[in-house]
Structure 1
Amino acid sequence: MDIAERAQALAQRIKQHKAGIETEEATKNAFVMPFISTVLGYDVFDPAEVIPEFTADVGTKKGEKIDYAIAHGGQVQILIEAKKVNDPLRIEHASQLYRYFAATNARIAILTNGEVYHVYTDLDAPNRMDAKPFLVLDFADIDATLLPELAKLTKETFDLDSVLSAAGELKYIGQIKRILATQFKEPEDEWVRFLTTRVYEGAFTQRVREQFLPLVEKATRQFLNEQVNDRLKNALGSPDIILPVPTTPVAPVVEDGQANEVGGDVVTTEEELEGFRVVRAIVCSEVPSDRVVARDTKTYFGVLFDDNNRKPIARLWFNRSQKYLGVFDENKNETRVPITTVEDIYGHAAHLRATAARYAGVREPIAPVA
């Protein structure tokens, strides 16, 4: 397996088991050691490669231990400090990494909770660990652009010089991307002001801010969806694929972005329509897009194959504070997966494609005549 496949395998393992992990030690056994062995390729049972409870006395600090040291070419190259899964990582957690970084030959330090990995080096001052990581890898949402850099730390292709030469660029690109992601989810006043003043000639008052805040949020969501849809179309080699707003039985979205009422008590929101377009864009690699149909109900928004209730592709449970994506197994049993944004649906693309492919290849049995 290449590093992308190994990373996805660990991501799936974390997703399945992290709810049952309650201690730091369990986190190390369940997630950190598989990261070292499966993803990075080091033998966790070979003390010449992986040294648990690594000790390097620093000044007056005697007997302190760091969770793991990884050696390559006979020298300690990577230090790893682990915390309990689900605990947010803070710079305060890295105090031992700071001390050990200066006392060893290691140029790479990793702070992790088993799911998120903060990777540090010494860009700001020689032999002194930076306050900010140059690489942040989140196994709940893997950034594929970071995997080639992570591959340079693996046993088979270890290339410290290449990592360090790219670290400066990675550090700032990563920070900028995380800032953009935050602004796209919850725009700050400065971001709203920045965009508003480029399209609105009047004064930026509180009333104008309140008017443009939802417009900025809507525009950024639509921009992201359009970019993803364009990439999907290019990947499928079908530039002429059209992803229109569904016409059955969902009403079109009005300009002001308010919800539309369909069939009296059924309310269809723009977010549900966006979710439908995402699902259809994903599965159109397996089935014709015109066979993927939307059907809204009072409790969920359904995406069906051939407008057949017995062939559900997905359900969007968006009419609640916690959103869920409903996916189906081979027996059509539904599993609700919590999601935060419509874009999170792309993380379940393989499952959705498999569901659509099953329906495309199976003919429904003919019911016996009574």
Structure 2
Amino acid sequence: MEINLQLKSLADKITQLKSKIETEESTKHAFVLPFIHALGYDAFNPLEVVPEFTADLGLKKGEKVDYAIFQNGEPIIIVECKSWKENLTVHNSQLFRYFHVTKTRFALLTNGINYQFFTDLDDQNKMDEKPFLEFDITNLKENTISEISKFHKSSFNIDNIISNASSLKYIKEIKKQINAELENPSNDFTKLFASKVYTGRLTEKVMDEFKDLVQKSISQYINERINDRLNAALTKETIKQQEEQATPLEEESKIYTSEEELEGYRIIVAILRQKLPTSRIVYRDTQSYFGILLDDNNRKPLCRLHLNGGKKYISLFNDNKNETKTAIASIDDIYQFGKELLDTVGLYETE
């Protein structure tokens, strides 16, 4: 199963079960271990996932971090878990202390719903105070899933993740700043726009007025862009529907030609080859019967087979083209009507 499907399945499971999960230990088993499994690691293999991972910290002995994920005999991610009801904070966390005594470059703090990935971008071998990747697993975006997949066992590469972590960290912080400015524009942000459109002196009163104008302008601009995209999408969908209506779909055929009907056709061809080339013997299947014609001409029926009902029949035609329907036990009985079939051919050839 692809990682995006596994993460969605886990998100659905969390939504259904979290009200029944009471402890940190239950959170680990119900939410965190399935996430580690989604990354491709075997939680039951002590060579890949080590629970209660211990590293000696100077004089402090026996402290444990909840999990360490290993690759090639070295820890690549250490994981600290909290109950899903707890807020995450790295202060006084074992992650800080363990980070510099292990060879890992990544630390994960999670309560099974919120996930925070850390590395050492600011000071080498010292865990950053802020995560470079942070998400709520019950509300994942496509770009976030792409970043999570970089930690998958099949594609894990320290250099690639580290080189991308810096961008992720700053993009996250910039987005926070943008959100703050949109909610309450700062003086610097307001001045950036006011100075470009207002020719007078930017007094405190003018700045207060422009702060409100900037906020309204940005809000309207965003709404207009959203509406433009929605209208474009609706227009595209409308055109598609009109094209589909203009080109009605062909009704699905209810006619099914069975192998038994084809075998019956081949028997008749074998009989009639005494007088006719096979190219002149043509079948047409209908809902009610399987017809065999001379020269693909409806006015020259050679016979009709009725094989799809409870009983089987063959219809033959006399010199007045009147149809006679006769029951048969199986298609092998068609050989009994060789003379009648050849007589019918002779009738049409005489005409």
Letter in 1 for 2:58: G
What whole-Å deviation, never above 9, does each CA across 1:148-181 have from its counterpart, x for those lacking one? 2321211121112210121112211121123223
Letter in 2 for 1:164: I
What whole-Å deviation, never above 9, does each CA across 1:26-73 have from its counterpart, x for those lacking one? 3222321221112x1211122211111111111122111111111122
Match of 2:99 in 1: 101
Distance in 2 (alpha carbons) for counterparts of 1:286 and 1:160: 46
Distance in 1 (alpha carbons) for counterparts of 2:83 and 2:112: 7
Distance in 2 (alpha carbons) for counterparts of 1:46 and 1:106: 19
Letter in 2 for 1:37: H
Match of 2:135 in 1: 137
Distance in 1 (alpha carbons) for counterparts of 2:107 and 2:132: 10
Aligned length: 242
Match of 1:35 in 2: 35
Match of 1:366 in 2: none
Letter in 2 for 1:166: N
Match of 1:26 in 2: 26
Match of 1:333 in 2: none
Distance in 2 (alpha carbons) for counterparts of 1:204 and 1:77: 55
Give percent identity, aligned residues only: 43
What whole-Å deviation, never above 9, does each CA across 1:197-239 have from its counterpart, x for those lacking one? 54455566676566555554444444444444555667x5x7x
Distance in 1 (alpha carbons) for counterparts of 2:11 and 2:170: 25
Letter in 1 for 2:171: I
Distance in 2 (alpha carbons) for counterparts of 1:90 and 1:198: 42
CA gap of 1:222–1:84, structure 2 versus 1, over 3 A, is: farther
Match of 1:4 in 2: 4
Q: Please list every run of 5 or more consecutive structure 2 residues that lacks an aligned counterpart in the other structure.
A: 243-351
What RMSD in Å do the two structures reach over aligned CA positions? 3.2
Distance in 1 (alpha carbons) for counterparts of 2:75 and 2:239: 47
Question: Any residues of structure 2 matched to 1:48-67 within 5 Å, and which?
Answer: 48-67=47-66
What whole-Å deviation, never above 9, does each CA across 1:115-154 have from its counterpart, x for those lacking one? 2211111122221111221112222432322332321211
Any idea what SS the aligned residue of 1:80 has?
A: strand
Moved more, 162-171 or 178-187: 178-187
Contact 1:152 1:160 (C-alpha < 8 Å) held by counterparts: no
TM-score (norm 1): 0.56
Letter in 1 for 2:41: Y
Any idea what SS the aligned residue of 2:131 has?
A: coil
Contact 1:137 1:143 (C-alpha < 8 Å) held by counterparts: no
Letter in 2 for 1:102: H
Deviation of the 1:77 alpha carbon: 0.4
Distance in 1 (alpha carbons) for counterparts of 2:218 and 2:18: 32
TM-score (norm 2): 0.59
CA gap of 1:102–1:284, structure 2 versus 1, over 3 A, is: farther
Match of 2:108 in 1: 110
CA gap of 1:88–1:227, structure 2 versus 1, over 3 A, is: farther
CA gap of 1:227–1:146, structure 2 versus 1, over 3 A, is: farther
What whole-Å deviation, never above 9, does each CA across 1:242-287 have from its counterpart, x for those lacking one? xxxxxxxxxxxxxxxxxxxxxxxxxxxxxxxxxxxxxxxxx98998
Letter in 2 for 1:158: F
Match of 1:167 in 2: 165
Any idea what SS the aligned residue of 2:42 has?
A: coil
CA gap of 1:169–1:220, structure 2 versus 1, over 3 A, is: same
Distance in 2 (alpha carbons) for counterparts of 1:81 and 1:119: 11
- Kindly indicate whether residue 147 of structure 2 is the aligned counterpart of residue 149 of structure 1: yes
Contact 2:65 2:80 (C-alpha < 8 Å) held by counterparts: yes
Letter in 2 for 1:9: S
Contact 1:52 1:68 (C-alpha < 8 Å) held by counterparts: yes
Match of 1:74 in 2: 73
Contact 2:105 2:119 (C-alpha < 8 Å) held by counterparts: yes
Deviation of the 1:100 alpha carbon: 0.9
Match of 2:45 in 1: 46
What whole-Å deviation, never above 9, does each CA across 1:180-209 have from its counterpart, x for those lacking one? 234334555654555455445556667656
Distance in 2 (alpha carbons) for counterparts of 1:174 and 1:285: 38
Contact 2:119 2:131 (C-alpha < 8 Å) held by counterparts: yes
Distance in 2 (alpha carbons) for counterparts of 1:18 and 1:226: 39
Match of 1:13 in 2: 13
Look at both structures and tell me which one has the larger radius of gyration over its CA atoms.
Answer: 2
Deviation of the 1:21 alpha carbon: 3.8
Distance in 2 (alpha carbons) for counterparts of 1:16 and 1:42: 24
